[in-house]
Homo-oligomer: A and B are copies of this chain.
Amino acid sequence: MQSPEKQQKAIDLSHHLSDVALARQTSPLKGLARFFGRPGMISLAGGMPSPDYFPFANISGDALVPESFAITANQSESSLSWLWKLFGGSGRKEKTSTITIPKYADRPEDINLATALQYGMATGLPALSKFINEFVGKTYKPAFSDWTTLIQTGNTDGWSRVILTLSNPGETYIVEDWTYPSAMAVTQPYGITPVGVPMDGQGLRSDELRKLLGEWDEAARGAKRPHVLYTVPVGQNPTGLTTSVSRKKEIYDICVEYDVIIVEDDPYYFLQLAPYSAKFDRASSRVDPTESDKWLSGLSPSYLKFDYQGRVIRLDTFSKTIAPGSRLGFFTCNPRFAERFERAGETSTQAPCGFGQSLIGQLLTTWQFDGYVRWLHGLAAQYEARRDFLIDALAEEFNLKQSLGTTGAWAGLTVLSASAKPRGLAAMSEKFAFGQQPYFSLVPPTAGMFLWLKIHFENVRGFKEGDEASLEIKLWTKLAEAGVLVGPGYYFGTEESARDSAAEGHFRMSFSLATDQELKKAVEILGEVVRDFFQNPE
């Protein structure tokens, strides 16, 4: 799959292992392993119940077809649900096919409950692991040859195993200035602390990363130089920003220079979206006319693609592509780290749930690679439509002014600033719109499921510096009382994030769940509450 010159081996990165990871023993039974699973062997060794006692003769599911969501306008007929969506129909009739997992399979390699519901290795169901491994090879094309994949119980479990394998208490790790709160909540009780690096329009700032690492003062900081970078490079949570290809290369090289392990938590990878265009400017069909295989190869590459040393640990999850309740994901990394993650899994979750593994395994092996890619492509088109709908709704409720970001995180990006829409007589006056100060601004995301609003509290009547934090929670509460919940900015902040937010507050709005009707209603409520609040903040 890779050209010979790219077939590089992982270097030995064992010196990154934490004391706990180093102390974790391999099972004392490993020395006897040559006997396990031999054909004809009678095993009285394990505490395994007979599969006869598993109370399911089979499980099955009516699975949606991979083409369930349209990617081209004239393809709608292949997917009833797409039509239903267009007409806002709730009486849905989806196209499905039934997959079934029997307790006992005719061929041993077929997925079966006798295996899936038995105690299993922390490496997971072989058929599913095989699919995942091939999927990674074809999709991310890692630059070193001896990468491996390992199943885990969702990316929170994955990240938890990673950071406790790589870091000792008292250490620090690098994150984007604003980041996923649960990632920080995982490390916090162990005294392992995030240090923020700002982002700009290209993603995590490589100049700031180099500065942080190069100028790290161990004595002043009370901690040695960070050796782990946790990053959400695509559709970043909460900012919605995506790290560019050239920026990824720069960051990778800096991490080589300073010997930093890159943990790429990438749940939104397949939700890469075409740039937003205003409604009047948009092609009549907002769906993507390219073939799914071309769409896949056109996605922004993973850090794995540049990783000739094996210093990237990639975390993939089925939470956004199948369902969050799957509690299933996988590591891609060098085998030395993978072995430690497997050991950590054995003493916590063991294997992921066999019901989930077998249903998802059967779904994916039935769909096959091309079917799954088609499914992902359809999903991306759905999220694109959702993003467009939400921003369109904002454009109807507010006066949305487009400009080019010149400073800070949004330098070089298209910024939309929302101010009051002229009403009544004012609508006649061109001056009105120009005179208005914006309530908030945003960058239309090109990936993921979030709009990140900067709230311009400096434009609130009677604003005094230092009011931002209390204004953010006040406005959040007024919105909630009016019936709309958004993510309050402070929830996503690191210690360092304040430098980005002079006089600003933030809200994260998700366009992943609400119906069009709800999104429309939510934006109207946002309009009412914001207009009132900027006049009467008390």
Q: What residues make up the interface of A, taking CB atoms closer than 8 Å to B?
A: 20-21, 23-25, 27-29, 32, 35-36, 38, 40-64, 68-69, 81, 92, 94, 96, 113, 116-120, 153-154, 156-157, 160, 181-182, 185-186, 188-191, 237, 319-320, 322-328, 346-357, 359-360, 363, 375, 379, 382, 449-450, 476-477, 480-481, 483-488, 490-491, 508-514, 518-519, 521-522, 525
- A325 and B327 alpha carbons, distance in the complex (Å): 14
Can you list 25 pairs linking A and B with CB atoms under 8 Å apart? A23-B191, A32-B476, A35-B480, A35-B481, A41-B480, A44-B487, A45-B487, A47-B450, A53-B69, A53-B382, A54-B323, A55-B64, A55-B363, A58-B62, A113-B323, A117-B325, A119-B325, A120-B325, A156-B347, A323-B354, A327-B351, A348-B349, A352-B353, A353-B355, A355-B359
With a cutoff of 8 Å between Cβ atoms, the chain B residues found around residue A189 in the complex are 20-21, 23-25, 347
Number of copies: 2
- A325 and B320 alpha carbons, distance in the complex (Å): 23
From A473, which residue of chain B is reached at the shortest CB distance?
B32
- A181 and B353 alpha carbons, distance in the complex (Å): 22
- A223 and B237 alpha carbons, distance in the complex (Å): 44
A44 touches B324 (CB 8 A): no
A119 touches B513 (CB 8 A): no
Beyond the given A60-B61, A119-B319, could you list 20 further A-B residue pairs with CB under 8 A, ordered by the A residue number? A21-B189, A27-B181, A43-B510, A45-B486, A47-B450, A49-B513, A50-B513, A52-B92, A53-B379, A55-B64, A58-B61, A58-B62, A116-B325, A120-B324, A157-B348, A325-B354, A353-B355, A355-B355, A355-B359, A356-B356
- A375 and B491 alpha carbons, distance in the complex (Å): 47
- A120 and B57 alpha carbons, distance in the complex (Å): 28
With a cutoff of 8 Å between Cβ atoms, the chain B residues found around residue A51 in the complex are 323
B28 touches A490 (CB 8 A): yes
B117 touches A323 (CB 8 A): yes
* Known A25-B185, A55-B68, A359-B59: A47·B349 in contact at CB below 8 Å: no
Majority-rule SS of A interface residues:
mixed
- A477 and B34 alpha carbons, distance in the complex (Å): 11
Contact of A43 among B35, B485, B488 (CB under 8 A): B485
- A73 and B38 alpha carbons, distance in the complex (Å): 38
- A375 and B347 alpha carbons, distance in the complex (Å): 30
* Known A23-B188, A119-B325, A351-B327: A510·B160 in contact at CB below 8 Å: no
Chain B nearest CB from A292 CB (Å) reads: 16
Contact of A328 among B21, B23, B353, B449 (CB under 8 A): B353
A355 touches B325 (CB 8 A): yes
B326 touches A117 (CB 8 A): yes
Residue of A63, A68, A154, A348 ringed by the most chain B CB atoms within 10 A: A348
With a cutoff of 8 Å between Cβ atoms, the chain B residues found around residue A324 in the complex are 48-49, 117-120, 354
Chain B nearest CB from A523 CB (Å) reads: 10
With a cutoff of 8 Å between Cβ atoms, the chain B residues found around residue A62 in the complex are 56-59
Contact of A63 among B56, B160, B346, B353 (CB under 8 A): B56
With a cutoff of 8 Å between Cβ atoms, the chain B residues found around residue A525 in the complex are 42
Chain B nearest CB from A69 CB (Å) reads: 8
Chain B nearest CB from A461 CB (Å) reads: 25
A41 touches B513 (CB 8 A): no
With a cutoff of 8 Å between Cβ atoms, the chain B residues found around residue A326 in the complex are 117, 353-355
Chain B nearest CB from A66 CB (Å) reads: 9
With a cutoff of 8 Å between Cβ atoms, the chain B residues found around residue A484 in the complex are 41-42, 44
From A101, which residue of chain B is reached at the shortest CB distance?
B61
Contact of A42 among B94, B119, B488, B521 (CB under 8 A): B521
Chain B nearest CB from A535 CB (Å) reads: 23
Chain B nearest CB from A198 CB (Å) reads: 22
A59 touches B59 (CB 8 A): yes
From A81, which residue of chain B is reached at the shortest CB distance?
B52
- A450 and B49 alpha carbons, distance in the complex (Å): 11
From A328, which residue of chain B is reached at the shortest CB distance?
B353
With a cutoff of 8 Å between Cβ atoms, the chain B residues found around residue A351 in the complex are 325, 327
